[in-house]
Amino acid sequence: MLVSHSVKGDKCLKDYVLYGGICFKAFPKAVTYSEAEAICGAEGGIVAPAKTEQLLKLIRKLVYSVRPMYNFWIGLDDRRTEGVWRWSDGTVLRAEDFQTWVPGEPNNYQGTQHCGRYWASMEQWDDVVCYVRYLFVCQIGQTTTKTQSYTPSNVVQTSAVRITRSPNRGVTPPTPLHNDNKTTLKLNQVRRPTVKESLPGWKVGLIIIFTIVGLVALMLLVAFFTRSKFFRFKRSIMPVPGPPSTQEYGSQTKLDP
């Protein structure tokens, strides 16, 4: 099925940004893959497929702008046919296409992993169960490719677990990304967020508090054991008084004065 949407007058809906004639929007709530499809479908779009390195950088930039270093859906699944990975626009992922799987993936662990995600900590793709909750980006706009037929020789099969990254074939440099306010986002400026940016403020506060409490407890333990050893050593070097001497007087015992 050919997925086709239009963008009127090169303008996007509210909170969407325009890139290459297509509108994109990151949502801050983590949802299942089916829920992401339903939300995007209600807005007239699809879950944004990370079909090229430029699109992957764009989607990552948008997701990290709402929640840094968070996993997100990449618009890829093999729910229809096991091992045949299809993008949300209906096209098939072929062996020669751009892809960046974690080594050993996709492996369909326990036969339940049928959706592709971007694994933020690994900076690569991974297959997971479709009912976990991740962030996502919706795409609204005209697609440029039609649904492809596939054969075992030109699609990525689940057994091909050694695939990591294909060469970037014929991809032109990214064009500026504009929104309705003519604000430009540069894809080549995507950076890894710091720990402070990645964690909510209350979590950072708890980490600091627990660290301080732990240090204080450690200092008290050290002081306690040091004091105990000192007193044991002091007692060991002090002379121990002997028993009082006695003298026998008849049948009575008299203590020396």
Q: Residue 72 is inside which H or E element, if any?
A: strand 72-77
Two tokens, residue 79: 């729910």
3-state SS string for 95-144: CCCCCEECCCCCCCHHHCCCEEEEECCCCEEEEECCCCCEEEEEEECCCC
Q: How do residues 147-198 score in pLDDT, each as one tens digit?
A: 343 333 444 444 333 333 333 333 333 333 444 444 334 444 444 444 444 4
Q: Where are the domains of the chain?
A: 17-140, 202-230
Contact 32, 130 (CB under 8 A): yes
Q: Model pTM?
A: 0.57
- CATH code 3.40.1160.10 for 17-140: no
Buried b (16+ CB within 10 A) or exposed e, 125-136: bbbbebeeebbb
Contact 57, 187 (CB under 8 A): yes
Two tokens, residue 224: 């306690």
Q: How do residues 38-91 score in pLDDT, each as one tens digit?
A: 999 999 999 999 999 999 999 999 999 999 999 999 999 999 999 999 999 999
Phi-psi region of 37 (alpha: psi -120 to 50; beta: other; left: phi over 0): alpha
